[in-house]
Amino acid sequence: MKRIIPLLLTLLLLLSGCSLQEELLTEKRHINPIPADATALVFTSAGGTRTVSDPEVISALRASYRWTNYHLHCCLEGEVAARMTIIAGGSLHPAEPGKVYADPDVPSYNPAFRRLLRSVWESAPAD
């Protein structure tokens, strides 16, 4: 009986169409490109540097982000207008810089986040 239960569970899993890899890549796994301890966002572009340190703006960006399977907001193609680096815990966050695209209508997995990120960059005062 002890050998049959794992076999039945495996068969049930296979028949349901689920797999461990699928489970790991669903909405149940949440990753946010802006860490909870972020204190500033630094945008660098050809026009100079802009820094956003308003906790409400950073929190709104975090809240607007949606994990879509294994796709991040940066998994796009297009001309990059600015790059965003993050200051978290008093130092530069090690994640790859985020991208603000020159085309406001570039297709995105997270359109609300991408639009808000662009809006934050455009409204930030130049350093």
Q: What is the pLDDT of residues 49-105, one digit of tens each?
A: 999 999 999 999 999 887 765 555 555 678 889 999 999 988 888 877 888 888 888
DSSP the chain: -TTHHHHHHHHHHHHHT--HHHHHTSTTS---SS-TTEEEEEEEETTEEEEE--HHHHHHHHHH---BTTB-TT---S-EEEEEEEEETTEE--SPPEEEESSTT---SSHHHHHHHHHHHHHSPB-
pTM: 0.70
Higher confidence at residue 51 or residue 5? 51
pLDDT band at 11 (very low <50, low <70, confident <90, very high): low
